[in-house]
Structure 1
Amino acid sequence: MKIGDRIKGVSRRDFFRIAGTYGMSSTLLAAGTFGGVMTAANLAKAAESTYNKRFAKEAKHTLKFGAAGFNPQNLLIERAGCLEFARDLEERTDGEIRIEFIGNNQICGQLSCVEKAQQGIIDIYAASTQNSAGGAPYLNVLDYAYMFRNRADQYYFMYSPESQRILRDPLEKRHGLKFLFTHAELRGIQMGMSFADKPTVTRIEDIMGTKNRVTGTQLGRIAMEALNLNPVPVAWEETLDGLKQGLIDGAETWASAVAYANMSPVVSQCVDLRFFCGTEHTAMRSETFDGLSGELQDAVMESSYLTQVHVQAANEAALVNTVGFTDPPMPGTIFAENDVRVAKLSDEEVRKAEEMCSPEFQPQLWEQWRERINSWAGGIDTYQDIYNEVRNNSHTLAENVEPRRWWKG
């Protein structure tokens, strides 16, 4: 079943009418539970049931969750776990915590959600760590080129107690944010329509000299400059128009981001360069977390763990069955329907790119930022410590990585 088929039965007018009756959060949470075709009638019934359950008792804490541009529909494409987390946390705390879910860029966007959380306007946010690095520069720690070999490495690190020491604790201390969970993909270069009539990319030289959108991450720019990919800062919300108008040749992002953001019609080739993190994370304001009782804090962590496990499995499945991130894409997937070719580079070609831009082979390119990030983390060697930790991972398939409660050591 295509993604669009699930929501054809509900018009925008009907959706907002239902939301006006039962509240936007209850309606969104209800919509997120549908696996089959949704109609206005069954959405209204589900929203009513969700509303009654959520408001059966008075909440001790109502937390605002700013989820950038996410909604129940595109969260079926990129499985970032936002609604699963909200639903589980409300149920786990028997309604003592209530989540006001605000997506569709209504309260914050990819670049601003982190700042809104730091300012106390929202309590929880979801956005990529790379776009959030403008407001929380320590998140650059995830973006050293080729530090992670594959998605399995990324999940391995997020479950590891070492992520507490290297990522989570310094982030909380420096920026007042508690890193809860994340989806994991590796970024490639998404070529626009100027590459539609060109042969499928097989070499890094095929895309050298092109002009490509870059996120808010500083470290991503270092890698792109070393690869002669001419990084141009473009806000995520403006990337689609930039590709449409030919202002940029391509964009660095990951496969499911292309699909969920409706970029597939203007992307001709998804070049799987795998050169640094694409992590759509959810974090909570530390002051909000600290204001909860110990029991509710435990619930937040357990809901984060459950959501992390869900995201690990669901996004791996969605990449194949919904996005079409295979060569060739499976029929009926978003990439297949939009003629997006997946350009899988050989191991030798990826190694060539790694030797051109990674800290292991080009340490001089990274010295300034590496020293800065290390000092923020208390003097540890962040790159080497993460690099060493993920080399303990024996899995190449992300779904095979064993979940662990990272905060328990």
Structure 2
Amino acid sequence: MFKRTAITKCILLSAVLLPCALPASAATILRLAYAENSQPVKDALQYLGKAVEEKTNGEVKVQFFPDGQLGGERELVEMTQVGVVDITKVSSGLMESFSPVYGVFSLPYLFESQQSFYKVMEDPTIMNTVYQSTEHLGFTGVGWYDSGARSFYMSEKPVQSLADLKGKKIRVMQSETSIRTMKLLGASPIAMGQSEVYTSLQQGIIDGAENNEFALTIARHGEVAPYYTYDEHTRIPDIVLMSNMTKKKLTPTQLQALEEAVKESTELEKAKWADEMNKTRQLAESEFGVKFFHVDHAEFKQAVQPIYDDLQSKPELYSLYQKINQIQ
């Protein structure tokens, strides 16, 4: 799975990050690294660290490497595989390249509502299958955070019906499902890095993009694409990962404390996410002049039906999709 450069980086970081020999009574230090993130996620991860220390009476402490200090999300997953990083948080969109079952979250219009999404994410019969799907790779999922719903925002005019997407160049993530979704909706998908989106919108290279509302303000995309339409085609959660090696160095009691801390941090993040979203919408309207629109999802869902028709050729993914549908 590794490229040689990734292996070399992990070896070098191991020498730098692994602590020197400590007395038997010293605390176990867990290295938690993450890339750039929204404030609610950062707050949740900070809470996780404090909660772990409190719940273990100082036996386990968390050392943070924030904001891409150790690399991007793919690099962090690879470091978690070999135990250089103990815990990380990445998008489940990236995880699809490590385990196909994570692709279920890229399916368009999968969730009926935010409440349905939360119900699925908190169901162990579904999520344990997802979390454990990477155990053979050296890590597993231990929790999740809300990352909002992805919707369209455009530079010239809003998307108010399916016809408004026809022929429009839309920036998407480098995801096979995302690209196919845009094609079925009549748009022309353009895969590019997030850092290129603002200039591409400004110069007319693309007509629009799709993301949650934070993109309008934090990335300032609202300045060049002031029409945001809530079609909410995907809800792609963030996933908290832990190295298998980390599990081996924690006692059962310490591991239970960590799992409790993750769950508590998820509840904190959900509350903070909702609050920040309200502030972001207000800021987007007042400071960036963004106008918000809502559409009937029916014709959009009908357009992407071929994706679901083809799911039966992927038994594991189809089974997971059926379970999700049953509990919504």
- With structure 2 as the length reference, what TM-score do the two structures score? 0.82
Cα distance, 1:264–1:107 mapped onto 2, change above 3 Å: farther
Is 1:311 aligned to 2:269, yes or no? yes
Aligned to 1:86, what secondary structure does the other structure show?
A: helix
The RMSD of aligned alpha carbons is 2.7
Match of 1:255 among 213, 220, 225: 213
Match of 1:69 among 20, 36, 46: 36
Match of 2:286 in 1: 336
Aligned to 1:278, what secondary structure does the other structure show?
A: coil
Aligned to 1:275, what secondary structure does the other structure show?
A: strand
Match of 1:267 among 225, 230, 244: 225
* 8 Å Cα contact 1:183/1:281 also seen in 2: no
Matches of 1:69 and 1:190 in 2, distance apart?
22
Match of 1:350 among 294, 297, 302: 297
Match of 1:82 in 2: 45
1:188-214 Cα distance to aligned partner (Å, 9 max, x none): 1232xx32xx3x432122122212222
Match of 2:242 among 270, 273, 284: 284
**Structure 1 unpaired stretches of 5+:** 1-56, 325-329, 375-379, 392-409
Matches of 2:186 and 2:26 in 1, distance apart?
53
- With structure 1 as the length reference, what TM-score do the two structures score? 0.67
Is 1:299 aligned to 2:262, yes or no? no
Is 1:100 aligned to 2:54, yes or no? no
- Kindly report which structure 2 residues correspond to 1:9-408, keeping only aligned pairs within 5 A, or say none: 59-70=26-37, 74-76=38-40, 81-173=44-136, 176-191=139-154, 194-195=155-156, 198=157, 200-320=158-278, 322-324=279-281, 330=282, 333-345=283-295, 349-358=296-305, 363-368=308-313, 370-371=314-315, 373-374=316-317, 381-389=319-327, 391=328
Deviation at 1:240, TM superposition (A): 3.8
* 8 Å Cα contact 2:30/2:63 also seen in 1: yes
Matches of 2:59 and 2:81 in 1, distance apart?
23
Identity %: 21
Aligned to 2:132, what secondary structure does the other structure show?
A: helix
Deviation at 1:67, TM superposition (A): 1.3
Cα distance, 1:276–1:94 mapped onto 2, change above 3 Å: same
Deviation at 1:388, TM superposition (A): 1.3
* 8 Å Cα contact 1:67/1:103 also seen in 2: yes
Amino acid in structure 2 at the alignment position of 1:145: P
**Structure 2 unpaired stretches of 5+:** 1-23
Cα distance, 1:237–1:97 mapped onto 2, change above 3 Å: farther
How many residue pairs match? The answer is: 305
Amino acid in structure 2 at the alignment position of 1:139: Y
Amino acid in structure 2 at the alignment position of 1:221: I
Deviation at 1:271, TM superposition (A): 2.0
Cα distance, 1:172–1:128 mapped onto 2, change above 3 Å: same
Deviation at 1:184, TM superposition (A): 4.2
Amino acid in structure 2 at the alignment position of 1:138: V
Amino acid in structure 2 at the alignment position of 1:312: K
Match of 2:7 in 1: none
1:237-276 Cα distance to aligned partner (Å, 9 max, x none): 4434433443322222222344444433333122212112
Matches of 2:35 and 2:221 in 1, distance apart?
17
* 8 Å Cα contact 2:168/2:208 also seen in 1: yes
Aligned to 1:185, what secondary structure does the other structure show?
A: coil
* 8 Å Cα contact 2:138/2:243 also seen in 1: no
Cα distance, 1:113–1:189 mapped onto 2, change above 3 Å: farther
1:205-231 Cα distance to aligned partner (Å, 9 max, x none): 212221222224332222222112222
Deviation at 1:156, TM superposition (A): 0.9
Matches of 1:80 and 1:271 in 2, distance apart?
28
Amino acid in structure 1 at the alignment position of 2:83: G
